[in-house]
Amino acid sequence: MPRTTLVCMPWHALSRPSLALGVLSSACRREGLSPPVEYHGGLRFAEFLLDRTDGVVTPFDYAAVAETGFPHALGDWVFAGVVNGDDFGLDGMVDYAARHGIAMRTLRSMRDLAAPFVELVVDEVLATDPELVGFSTTFMQNVPSLAVAKQLKHRKPELTVLLGGGNCDGPMGAALYREFEFVDMVLRGEADETFPRLLRALDGDGEVTEVPGLCWRDTINPARLVPPARMSAPNFEGWFGAFDASVVSRYVEPELVVESARGCWWGEHHHCTFCGLNGTSMAFRAKPAVTFVAEVDGLVRQHQVLDVMVVDNILAPGYLRTALPELASRGWDLRLHYEVKANLTGAQIEVLRDAGVYSVQPGIESLVDDVLARMNKGVRAVRNVRTLRDCESAGLTVAWNWLYGFPGEREEDYKAVIDQLPALVHLQPPDGVTRIQLERFSPYFEDPSLGFPDRSPAEAYQYVYALPPETLQDLVYLFDTSPRGLTEHQAGPLWMAIETWTVWYATSTLVRKHIDGVTVLRDRRAGWPEEDHVLEDPREQRAWAELECGRSAVGVARRLADVGLRWSVNDLQRWLSELCERGLLFTEGGYYIALATTSAAPR
């Protein structure tokens, strides 16, 4: 097999290993091949920046670009001069940044150091004496990888340069292969099986042209999905060795990264209209629970790290009965992050918490029914509020973004919801309010008739790639379109309401208690009178319990009647309206949800 070095360039997170390199390392071992040498360019760049700026540009600055730069291709831009010439995209990005409120000083410092850094990487990679160098590229790793690949090929023309990873999915991989002559091969799709197979074929064992997903010479093979039983458990020895020896370890705590499933079971049948996350690999495949638990067990014991990021796009529902209770039974102090669907019950959220899940990303996206329907999200606003409430009760951190800009959405659909946001200040606010961007692979991208007929590669890519728009069309992930839905002016009240929510959350609680046979709603929310609302009437108490699940007025009346409690819908409706005025219920689309949590998590 060719002597192989795998490279993970900036802007991979500094606190965790590359899952791709970990999986490929272990896939090679499984197939009886020597594991490739690993080169962790993200850690190396953070060290380099610290050293060359005498500590002025820190790993925190690196992390800021890594975490927020993608919509503007900032990380790619830092390396664009190395690929295309020093001044390439300089003025254009400065002008773009001014229009988007992006501070450029630190980015300029990073860009000034990109060329010497690439030289260093090339020296260090060549020192590993490789015959093949593979780059794993996702998000903003394209241009940093291309910068190194170009110089590697210049210095050692007989070297084979291979690209793989999310940025190579579908037509993007074929375009990368076509447009950059120093890229010898692109391997598209999940590579647990194809990467070892390619290495063997390059060694004369099998046909290179038959490797699924490969772009090479005239071969453009379709990718193939990996079944759960063949998904490799990652091996992170290489990364932890590099991290422990790095000055970066003085700035960030390490965490593990694992995957329990690939694809999305919701998107298989109801693809959310804005989402391109799963690329060409939507089919949902979860590892057997016992396999996943053993992986976590092994990694935690080996590396003595309890923070675990699960990168799945959605939790496998069966794990709530299998893997998660099993993890809980181990009695570890795990801190897991999981992406989930926002239709979990309070009991299921407690299962998550007991297993050590401290942070979830439930894809809340909006609290407006009409907009949720437009995005094909499959939940109502009251369901989303229920998830926020139950996560608050369980002490789970919720990461979510409020999305707007959907074709057909109307200002009037937002009005009643925005008016109610002050009642939610005791629940976790969104991290941001964001106009959706058109993503490759999303239904909005695939079907222009859904509302985005005109599209062009996102402007920032012009300052990153020296390629014409018709070529970028195949190569990039984000696209500019004419704005749809709310105008920026119309979105103003939403921004303001969420700004207030964010400030008031820290000092707000609204908690339900049962005390001496009565229900007490203890209201300590900013912006509301300090009050203990007491529900003594058995009908009110029973109705409140129903409202904790999210019900219509008719639904509550029917359930009360089922247990012999009569309350006319009109009278009940009046009571519900009173509770709404006091901010104790949230209502949308004819449904009501009780807002009080069952406990107040420490802030």
CA distance 190 to 259: 13
* Residues 334-373, interacting with ligand SF4 (CB under 6 A): 363
- Rounded to a whole number of angstroms, the minimum distance from the CB of residue 265 to ligand SF4 is 8
Cβ distance to ligand SF4 smaller for residue 189 or 363: 363
Q: Is 141 in the site for ligand SF4 (CB under 6 A)?
A: no
* H-type alpha helices, 447-582: 469-475, 488-505, 538-547, 553-562, 569-581
Considering only residues 189, 267, 443, 550, which one is a binding residue for ligand SF4 as defined by CB under 6 A?
267
- Rounded to a whole number of angstroms, the minimum distance from the CB of residue 273 to ligand SF4 is 9
* Residues 443-502, interacting with ligand SF4 (CB under 6 A): none
**Which stretch, 169-177, 262-270, 479-487, 503-511, contacts ligand SF4 (CB under 6 A)?**
262-270
Residues ≥6 apart with Cβ < 8 Å to 386 = 548, 549, 550, 593
Cβ distance to ligand SF4 smaller for residue 299 or 403: 403
Q: Are 339 and 315 in contact (CB under 8 A)?
A: yes
CA distance 359 to 351: 13
Q: Is 18 in the site for ligand SF4 (CB under 6 A)?
A: no
- Rounded to a whole number of angstroms, the minimum distance from the CB of residue 378 to ligand SF4 is 8
Is the backbone of residue 139 left (phi > 0), alpha (psi -120 to 50) or beta? left
Q: Is 277 in the site for ligand SF4 (CB under 6 A)?
A: yes
- Rounded to a whole number of angstroms, the minimum distance from the CB of residue 360 to ligand SF4 is 13
- Rounded to a whole number of angstroms, the minimum distance from the CB of residue 442 to ligand SF4 is 8
**Which stretch, 212-220, 270-278, 403-411, 467-475, contacts ligand SF4 (CB under 6 A)?**
270-278
- Rounded to a whole number of angstroms, the minimum distance from the CB of residue 523 to ligand SF4 is 34
Kindly give the interhelix angle for 411-420 and 488-505, rounded to the nearest 10 degrees: 20
Q: Is 266 in the site for ligand SF4 (CB under 6 A)?
A: yes
Cβ distance to ligand SF4 smaller for residue 267 or 451: 267
**Number of residues engaging ligand SF4 in binding (CB under 6 A):** 11
Q: Are 260 and 286 in contact (CB under 8 A)?
A: yes
Own/partner contacts of 327-330, CB < 8 Å, gap of 24 or more, are 327/293, 327/296, 327/355, 327/356, 328/354, 328/355, 328/356, 330/297
Q: Is 313 in the site for ligand SF4 (CB under 6 A)?
A: yes
* H-type alpha helices, 245-356: 265-270, 289-303, 323-329, 346-355
Cβ distance to ligand SF4 smaller for residue 165 or 363: 363
**Which stretch, 188-196, 207-215, 273-281, 427-435, contacts ligand SF4 (CB under 6 A)?**
273-281
Quick one: how many helices (H) and strands (E) in the chain?
24, 25
DSSP state of 318: G
Q: Is 272 in the site for ligand SF4 (CB under 6 A)?
A: yes
Least Cα distance to 309 among 236, 249, 364, 366 occurs for 236
**Which stretch, 182-190, 271-279, 478-486, 517-525, contacts ligand SF4 (CB under 6 A)?**
271-279
Residues ≥6 apart with Cβ < 8 Å to 598 = 346, 393, 511, 512
- Rounded to a whole number of angstroms, the minimum distance from the CB of residue 278 to ligand SF4 is 6
Cβ distance to ligand SF4 smaller for residue 75 or 362: 362
**Sign of the C-alpha dihedral computed for residues 95, 98, 101 and 104 taken in this order:** positive
- Rounded to a whole number of angstroms, the minimum distance from the CB of residue 262 to ligand SF4 is 11
**Sign of the C-alpha dihedral computed for residues 99, 105, 106 and 110 taken in this order:** positive
CA distance 438 to 271: 14
DSSP code string of 166-181: GGGTTHHHHHHHHH-T
**Sign of the C-alpha dihedral computed for residues 299, 305, 306 and 309 taken in this order:** negative
- Rounded to a whole number of angstroms, the minimum distance from the CB of residue 264 to ligand SF4 is 3
Q: Is 246 in the site for ligand SF4 (CB under 6 A)?
A: no
Q: Is 551 in the site for ligand SF4 (CB under 6 A)?
A: no
**Which stretch, 48-56, 64-72, 263-271, 393-401, contacts ligand SF4 (CB under 6 A)?**
263-271
The pattern of x and - marking residues 184 through 203 that bind ligand SF4 according to CB under 6 A reads --------------------
Q: Is 264 in the site for ligand SF4 (CB under 6 A)?
A: yes
Cβ distance to ligand SF4 smaller for residue 88 or 479: 479
CA distance 44 to 12: 11
Considering only residues 16, 150, 197, 271, which one is a binding residue for ligand SF4 as defined by CB under 6 A?
271
Cβ distance to ligand SF4 smaller for residue 441 or 501: 441
- Rounded to a whole number of angstroms, the minimum distance from the CB of residue 601 to ligand SF4 is 25
**Which stretch, 94-102, 122-130, 266-274, 426-434, contacts ligand SF4 (CB under 6 A)?**
266-274
- Rounded to a whole number of angstroms, the minimum distance from the CB of residue 392 to ligand SF4 is 22
Least Cα distance to 416 among 368, 378, 487 occurs for 368
- Rounded to a whole number of angstroms, the minimum distance from the CB of residue 269 to ligand SF4 is 10
* Torsions phi, psi for 348 (to 5 deg): -70, -35
What is the number of the residue whose Cβ is closest to ligand SF4? 267
Q: Are 457 and 469 in contact (CB under 8 A)?
A: yes
Q: Is 172 in the site for ligand SF4 (CB under 6 A)?
A: no
Cβ distance to ligand SF4 smaller for residue 7 or 381: 381
Q: Is 183 in the site for ligand SF4 (CB under 6 A)?
A: no
What is the DSSP pairing of strand 531-535 with strand 518-524?
Answer: antiparallel
Cβ distance to ligand SF4 smaller for residue 314 or 584: 314
- 160: tokens are 């084979």
Cβ count within 10 A of residue 143:
26
* Residues 204-223, interacting with ligand SF4 (CB under 6 A): none
Q: What separation in angstroms does the CA of 400 have from each of 33, 353, 364, 434?
A: 42, 18, 6, 11
Q: Which residue has the tokens 């993970």?
A: 8
Considering only residues 6, 49, 163, 314, which one is a binding residue for ligand SF4 as defined by CB under 6 A?
314
List contacts with ligand SF4 (CB under 6 A).
264, 266-267, 271-272, 275, 277-278, 313-314, 363
